[in-house]
Structure 1
Amino acid sequence: MKLVTLIKKDDPNSTQHIGVLLDNGQRIAILQAGIEAMTGSPSPFFIDMLAFLRGDTAARDEAHAVVEYITGQHPPDSIVASDSVTLLAPVPRPESIRDYMGFEQHIINCIRAAGLKKLAPFDEWVEKNFGRKRSIAYRLNKAWYDRPIYYKGNRFSVVGSDAPVHMPAYTKKLDYELEWGIFTGKSGVDIPKEQAFQYIGGYTIFNDFSARDIQMEEMAGRLGPTKGKDFDTGNTMGPCLVTPDEIPDPYDLTMVARVNGEEWSRGTTADTTWTFEDIIAYVSQSETIHPGEFFGSGTCSGAQGRGCGLEMGKFLKVGDVVELEVEKIGILRNRIEE
């Protein structure tokens, strides 16, 4: 299923509903309306997306049954046209946000672009002729190979697809990041990697907008990022939450970023070094994870392309429209505004 959180455009109270996309996204089945028509009472699983994630497999099973009932019986008010609603982020306020660096090539590219600068071509030559482990970028980044490093983001700055992203007044180098991520679907602690897949509640697309000039200044202090990442509307997610049964092989998906219709980035989840299972196992060491927590993949860079503007030396401006597309999920689209 592809699930969404929505508000009906003609609803003066802006009530949030969760629904399931139908007909390639042209229509949406409203789950709570469907279960009430089906059973005569609402479901605690369909109060919001956090409640759905807490329900885990029982919630998914009930949603499947409700969608089958809605598409077969067409009860009143259970289906809406997609153009009659506003989509929010699938989980408008996650329980937490962790974003980690899952793609080796991204951190190598960033070290060269932001750290080595004029030495970057020489370091690329060293890697080409003597191997990556002899390169400067590798040697400066050795800690990354020991564990899946992450930072914690601001869960209050999340917005959905087609929502405006406001450029912070303090930056001149706003950047996008081609990412995707998971929401957890159950609680656990000290989770073995071999069992970690069972804790994935769904997948979505993530754009971790970044003020690169500020980020570089902050991280020179050996901590952060802080205001390089934390600003209103800086975390965009969507357009939907895809349940794991829809993506049998999550590490074989094409990812693309476009700015104003022009392709800037292309990659594949196959280039992931640290998987979601790795990060669940790492984070849950002596720490309980809970349903509704978000783990971002980090920027998708690899053999096919570079996953953010920093790696290419180009940045966003007011008026730009950024689209991230991930196979089997959809397109996350946002416009940069003042």
Structure 2
Amino acid sequence: MRLVTFERGAGPVGFGAVVGDVVVDFADAARARTGAVPPRLASVDAYLRGLPASLEEAHQLLAGVVEADGRRVESVRLLPPVPRPAALLDCTLTPRHVANSTATLLRRSLPSGVGRVAGWVAKPVLGRRPRGVRYYKGNHNAMIGDHDTIGWPAYTAYLDIEPELAVVTGAVPCGATRAQAVERLAGYLIFNDASARDVQLPEMFFTGPASSKDFDDSNGLGPYLVTPDDVADPLALDVTVGISDRGTWVGTTADYAMHPIDAVVAIASRRSLAAGTVIGMGTIPDCCGLDRDEWLRPNDQITITFDGLGTLHQRVGTPTTPPGTRWQRRSDLAPAPRG
């Protein structure tokens, strides 16, 4: 089941599912059938709090629905499936991404000869190193969705994307077992963790991600929240990223294979997880500019496709002033026109 949160003109925000090529609003479908909306299907927040019972209620409601009962997908505006996450936890569970990105950071950030040697030494070491489940807390108030624009802060000239598989949970108690984690797993979606790369290296040594990750309109989610029963193996999904007309990047969620989803959620539940917690699994290797030393341009059109999860469309914003940078200046960044 592909769950969506959406706007339909001036009406209230809707919550429902995509059936074929249409969006079925749970509230409309329930009123047509029984005259009343089940409380657990009134909104995505209520749905997440009501797991696992809400999943069964949604399936029962959709059992008699046909495409004629909904609105065409293109006639509504899809919001982030979870517009107001209770928390955003972002992991780094792919050693190959860590190796590739660290090599680029060192090469770009340190004096020429030193940076190249440091990157050459670090890459094979980090690429072999198994990583535990560690995460930082992202800005859960900076969510954007399908067809939205990624903000470009004035302090970076090297804006980047980070396509990730993300997990959404219901309420998970502190110290949950893996079985309890599975029971409260709401589903999977595409997460794009936009990043300012030329300010990132010092933060990784001292404070942890701050300005490099925390800016307006920086966390993309969507287009759907796909329930676990519709994803045969979340760690075997092909990933394709399109950057305007400049080719594609490809990867796979198999790079997370050493970290089963239920184990990640159980480890994260060393503290209670509120319903609506989003957990990013980490960047798909070879699918961000830092891994490849290739860089976004203003107004680039981005498509991030995960097999079975859909395609997240986003546009790269434009800096309002020529951005500063610790790295080499870019001549291809023009400020947005004023007025």
**Residues 189, 137 of structure 1: alpha-carbon distance in 2 compared, 3 angstrom cutoff:** same
Contact 2:165–2:253 under 8 Å retained in 1: no
What amino acid maps onto 2:277 in structure 1? E
Q: Amino acid of the residue matched to residue 331 of structure 1? A: T
Q: Where is the helix percentage greater, Structure 1 or Structure 2?
A: 1
Alignment of 1:145-156 (within 5 A): 145=130, 147-156=132-141
Cα deviation, 1:136-194, whole Å, max 9, x if unaligned, reads: 4465689x735212110011100101011121111100001121201002322212345
Q: 1:178 touches 1:265 (CA, 8 Å); kept in 2? A: no
Match of residue 169, structure 2, among 171, 181, 184: 184
* 1:87-110 deviation per Cα after TM superposition (whole angstroms, max 9, x unaligned): 000000100000001111111112
Q: Which segments of 5 or more consecutive residues in structure 2 lack a partner in the other structure?
A: 108-114, 319-339
SS of aligned partner of 1:63:
helix
Task: Return the alpha-carbon distance in structure 2 between the equivalents of residues 177 and 251 of structure 1.
Answer: 17
2:106–2:116: 8 Å Cα contact kept in structure 1? Answer: no
Assess, with a 3 A threshold, how the Cα gap between structure 1 residues 89 and 148 changes in structure 2: closer, same or farther.
Answer: same
1:181–1:294 CA contact under 8 A, matched in 2 = yes
Q: Indicate yes or no: 2:48 matched with 1:53.
A: yes
- One-letter amino acid of the counterpart of residue 119, structure 1: V
Structure 2 partner of 1:34 = 29
Letter in 1 for 2:60: A
Match of 2:103 in 1: 112
For 2:207 and 2:260, the matched residues in 1 are separated by 24
Q: Which amino acid aligns with 2:227?
A: T
Provide, for residues 213-269 of structure 1, a one-character-per-residue CA deviation record: whole Å limited to 9, x for no partner.
12223334x122111111111000000000000012111111111100444421111
- Give TM-score scaled by structure 2 length: 0.85
Give the 5 Å matches for 1:68-87: 68-71=63-66, 78-87=69-78
Give 1:335's aligned amino acid: R
Q: TM-score, normalised by structure 1?
A: 0.86
Matched, 1:18 2:15: yes
SS for the counterpart of 1:196 is helix
Matches within 5 A, 1:111-150: 111-115=102-106, 117-119=115-117, 122-123=120-121, 136-137=122-123, 139=125, 145=130, 147-150=132-135
Amino-acid identity (%): 32
The residue type paired with residue 141 of structure 2 is F
Query: Whole-Å Cα distance in 1 between the matches of residues 225 and 247 of structure 2?
Result: 24
Q: How many aligned positions are there?
A: 310
| AA aligned opposite 2:283 | T
Q: Give the match for residue 294 of structure 1.
A: 278
> For residues 191 and 261 of structure 1, what CA distance do their matches in structure 2 show?
46
Q: Residue 95 of structure 2 contacts residue 126 of structure 2 at CA under 8 Å; is this kept in 1? A: no
**How far, CA to CA, are the matches of 1:320 and 1:42 in structure 2?**
42
Distance 2:164 2:131 in 1: 22
Match of 2:156 in 1: 171
Matched residues in 1 for 2:123 and 2:294: separation? 21
CA distance in 1, matches of 2:165, 2:245: 20
- Could you tell me which runs of 5 or more consecutive residues in structure 1 were left unpaired when the two chains were aligned: 124-135
- Give secondary structure in 2 for the equivalent of 1:225: coil
Aligned residues of 1:112 and 1:119 also touching (Cα < 8 A): no
The structural deviation recorded for 1:86 is 0.5
